[in-house]
Structure 1
Amino acid sequence: MTSDPRAGSPAGQPARHRARRRPRTRIVLAGAAAVAALGGGTAFACMGGSSGGHSDAAHHPDPAVRLIPASQAPSAPPAQISATRRPTAHPAPSHHRATPAATPTRTPTTRPTPVDSPTTDGGSGSGGSGATANGAAVQQVLALVNKARAAQGLPPYTLLSGLSRAAAAHNQVMADGCGLSHQCPGEPPFYDRDRAQGVSAGAGGENIGEGGPMDDTQQAIASMAVNLTQGMLNEQPPDDGHRRNILSSTYTHIGIAVLRDSSGTVWMTQDFSQ
Structure 2
Amino acid sequence: MFRKYTALAAAILLASSMTTSLAECAVNQPCNSTCGDVCATYQCSVSTCNQICATCWDCNTTCSTICGIYPPADPTAVPQPTPTVQPTQKPSATQTPAPGDDYTTQSVSAQEQKMVNLLNQDRKNNGRTALTLDPELCRIARIKSADMRDNRYFAHESPTYGRVGQMLKHFGYRFSAAGENIAHHANVDKAQAAFMSSQGHRANILSTAWTKVGVGIVQDANGYIYATQIFAK
TM-score interval (norm. to shorter): 0.5 to 0.7
Q: State the shift of 1:190 in Å.
A: 1.2
Deviating beyond 6 angstroms after TM superposition, the runs of 4 or more aligned structure 1 residues are 26-31, 131-134
- C-alpha distance in structure 2 between counterparts of 1:197 and 1:170, whole Å: 12
Residue 182 of structure 1 corresponds to which residue in structure 2?
Answer: 156
> Pick from 217, 221, 232: which aligns with 1:262?
221
Give CA-to-partner distance per residue, 1:86-123, whole Å, 9 cap, x none.
Answer: 45689xxxxxxxxxxxxxxxxxxxxxxx9xxxxxxxxx
SS of structure 2 residue aligned to 1:71: helix
Q: State the shift of 1:202 in Å.
A: 2.3
- C-alpha distance in structure 1 between counterparts of 2:226 and 2:219, whole Å: 6
- C-alpha distance in structure 1 between counterparts of 2:132 and 2:108, whole Å: 19
Q: Which amino acid aligns with 2:176?
A: G
Structure number with higher strand proportion: 1
Q: State the shift of 1:204 in Å.
A: 1.1
Residue 194 of structure 1 corresponds to which residue in structure 2?
Answer: 168
Q: State the shift of 1:28 in Å.
A: 7.2
Q: Which amino acid aligns with 2:57?
A: S
Q: For 1:149-168, what aligned pairs fall within 5 Å after superposition? A: 149-168=123-142
Q: Which amino acid aligns with 2:136?
A: G
TM-score by length of 2: 0.60
Give CA-to-partner distance per residue, 1:56-77, whole Å, 9 cap, x none.
Answer: xxxxxxxxx9752633799352
Q: CA RMSD in A?
A: 3.7
- C-alpha distance in structure 2 between counterparts of 1:189 and 1:271, whole Å: 11
Unmatched segments (≥5 aa) in structure 2: 16-33, 43-48, 50-55, 71-79, 88-99
SS of structure 1 residue aligned to 2:195: helix
- C-alpha distance in structure 2 between counterparts of 1:241 and 1:27, whole Å: 20
TM-score by length of 1: 0.52
Structure number with higher helix proportion: 2
Once the two structures are aligned, what percentage of the paired residues are identical?
22
Moved more, 137-146 or 194-203: 194-203
Q: For 1:1-274, what aligned pairs fall within 5 Å after superposition? A: 14=5, 67-68=36-37, 70-71=40-41, 75-77=57-59, 78=63, 79-80=66-67, 81-82=69-70, 83-86=80-83, 126-127=102-103, 135-212=109-186, 224-235=187-198, 240-274=199-233
Change (3 A) 1:268 1:229: same
Give CA-to-partner distance per residue, 1:133-158, whole Å, 9 cap, x none.
Answer: 77221111111111110111100011
SS of structure 1 residue aligned to 2:149: helix
SS of structure 1 residue aligned to 2:192: helix
- C-alpha distance in structure 1 between counterparts of 2:204 and 2:14, whole Å: 13
User: How many aligned positions are there?
Assistant: 173
Equivalent residues of 1:162, 1:198 under 8 A apart = no
Give CA-to-partner distance per residue, 1:130-186, whole Å, 9 cap, x none.
Answer: x98772211111111111101111000111122112111111211112321222324
SS of structure 2 residue aligned to 1:138: helix
Unmatched segments (≥5 aa) in structure 1: 1-11, 18-23, 32-64, 91-113, 115-124, 213-223
